[in-house]
Amino acid sequence: MSELDEPFERDEVLDKPGIIGARWWHKGLADAPKDASRRNAILVALGAVGLAGLAGTIAVVADACSGDDTEVQRKRALDMQRTFGWSFGAAQESVTFDGESKKPFDRAALARMSADLRPADEGARAYYVPALFESPSAAPALVAEGDPAPITPLGDVLRPIFTPAMDRAYRSGKALASLFLAARTDSGLRRDIAFIVDLDGPEAVAFAAGAAEAFDPVFTFDNWPHPRGVVKAHLTLAAAAYYQPLFARSYPGPRATMFVLDRQRLSAYSDDAAQFDNRYVARLPSAEALRDRGVRYVLYVVPNPSDSTESDDLNDDLIAFQTGRLGVRSIAASVFAADPAEAKPASETEDWPPYYYGGRAASHGWFWIDYPWGPPPRPAPVEPIAVPRPGKLYTPVPRATPFSSTVASPGGAPALPQGFGTVPVVVALGTGAILGAALSRSGSWNRASGGFGG
C-alpha cells in the first residue's frame, strides 16, 4: 500500500492565533469521510478552494499532509518579517502601548521616520541602522503559502508613547548636552568624545532627544516589533514617533557623535512557542574608524551606577577601543537629577525641572573633574559627595561572553550563539517554499520532520 493509500484522519483543528495552517485545508479534511484516503482528502480540499491555482494548491496540500515533505528550519527573524510582514506567524495578534501619548500625532510622518532620524553627519551614516524606523511603512513582499491571513500594517497600529522614565532620560540627556554647550568655543562644539548610550529602548531614544542640541544621534536598532517579540521594539519605535519632530530639526554646526543602543536587544529568550526571537547585537565602529573621526575618548552611558559591567556584546568593542588608544569611561544616566533646593518658577514649562550632574546646580560642572578631558570649569564646582559615581573609574575588562569575537583583529564581527535572532519556519522540501512560522507546539505541523514535539 502506498503512503497516499493509507487511511487519513484529522486529529486536530488548528484555529489559534499564530498557529500555522490554512483554514480551508482544515475544513476540507473535516468534510471528508473518516475512511477517505489521503488522495481523496486532497481532492475534497481542492473542491473547497476551486480549480484556480490548482498546481500551487496541490503543492501546499501535499506538503501539509505528509510529514516527510516538510521540515522546520531556522531563518533570520528580521528577514522573515521583511518578506512576510512584521507580525509573521501571529497575524491575528497585535502589540500594546503603555504610556500612550495624548499629543496630536501626524501618522503620515511615519513614512519619513528613517530619514528624519538619520545622522546629520554624512560620515556617521555608515553606522546608522534604520531597520526599526523602516518597519511602519514596510509592506510584505510575499504571503506565506500555509498562513495567508492578512497582516495589519504596523503603521496603522503604532501609537506614540511618553512615560515618566522617558521624561527622566530626556532631562538627563539635556543636562549632559548643557555641559558641552557651555564649553563651546569659537571653533564649535567638542567632537573628540563619542558617546554610547546603552539604555532601555524608549529611554535611549529620549536621552538622545534631550541631548540632540549637542550630539548627533546614530541609532543602531536592528530589529522589528512583533506581537510575541522578546525585545519590546514596538515601545522603542513608539518613543521614536513621539520625539520624531525634534529629531527632524536642523541644528547649526557639527555635533559630537552619540551611538544609541537598546539595552533590551539581548533579552532572555527561552521558548519558540511563546516568543519571537527579534534579538540582535550592537554594531559599532572600530577604534581606528573613531580615531579617523577625531575621537579620543569614549563615554559609555548606562542606566544606574550599579550597572558596572557593559552589555555582553560590547565587551570586545570596548576592549578594542581601550587597546586602540581611546580613553574609555562610563557614566550612569541617573547621576543627573533635579536640584531639590532650586525654587520652582511661577509658571512651569516643559523644561522644568532642569537636571544637573550630581543633582545640584552647584555640582553640575564637576563632570569635568570626574572626566578630566578638558580644562577645569570656572567657577569651581562643588563635589556631589552623596551621589555614587563609579563610572569615572570604569575600565573594561576582557571576559568570555556568548558574543566573544572569533576574529583576532579589533573590530571583528561578534560571534552569535546558535539560533540567536532566528525563528523556526515550516519549509516545503520539494519547492523550498516557506509555508509559515512554527510558533506553536500544538497542531499537525508537529508531523513535519524536525518539528516540535510535546
State the first-to-last Cα distance of the chain, in angstroms, to the nearest integer.
30
Q: How far is CA 342 from CA 54, 170, 427, in A?
A: 76, 19, 64
pLDDT per residue as tens digits for the range 245-286: 999 999 988 999 999 999 999 999 988 778 999 999 999 999
pLDDT at 65 over 50: no
The domain spans of the chain are 3-75+425-447, 81-393
Q: In a 3-state reduction of DSSP, which class is residue 197?
A: strand
- Tell me the C-alpha distance between 438 and 436, whole Å: 7
| pTM of this prediction exceeds 0.75 | yes
pLDDT per residue as tens digits for the range 364-408: 999 999 999 988 888 889 999 889 999 999 999 999 999 987 544
Percent of the chain with pLDDT over 90: 67
- Tell me the C-alpha distance between 223 and 129, whole Å: 9
Give the model's pLDDT for residue 147: 85
pLDDT per residue as tens digits for the range 146-187: 888 999 999 999 999 999 999 999 999 999 999 999 989 888
- Tell me the C-alpha distance between 38 and 123, whole Å: 61
Q: How far is CA 435 from CA 50, 70, 439, in A?
A: 20, 9, 12
> Which of the four pLDDT bands, split at 50, 70 and 90, describes residue 68?
low
Compute the average pLDDT of residues 314-318.
Answer: 96
> Which of the four pLDDT bands, split at 50, 70 and 90, describes residue 206?
very high
Tell me whether residue 83 is exposed, middle or buried, using C-beta atoms within 10 angstroms of its C-beta: 0 to 12, 13 to 18, 19 or more: middle
Q: How far is CA 386 from CA 152, 175, 307, 353, 389, in A?
A: 51, 19, 18, 20, 9
C-alpha cell at 146: 500555509
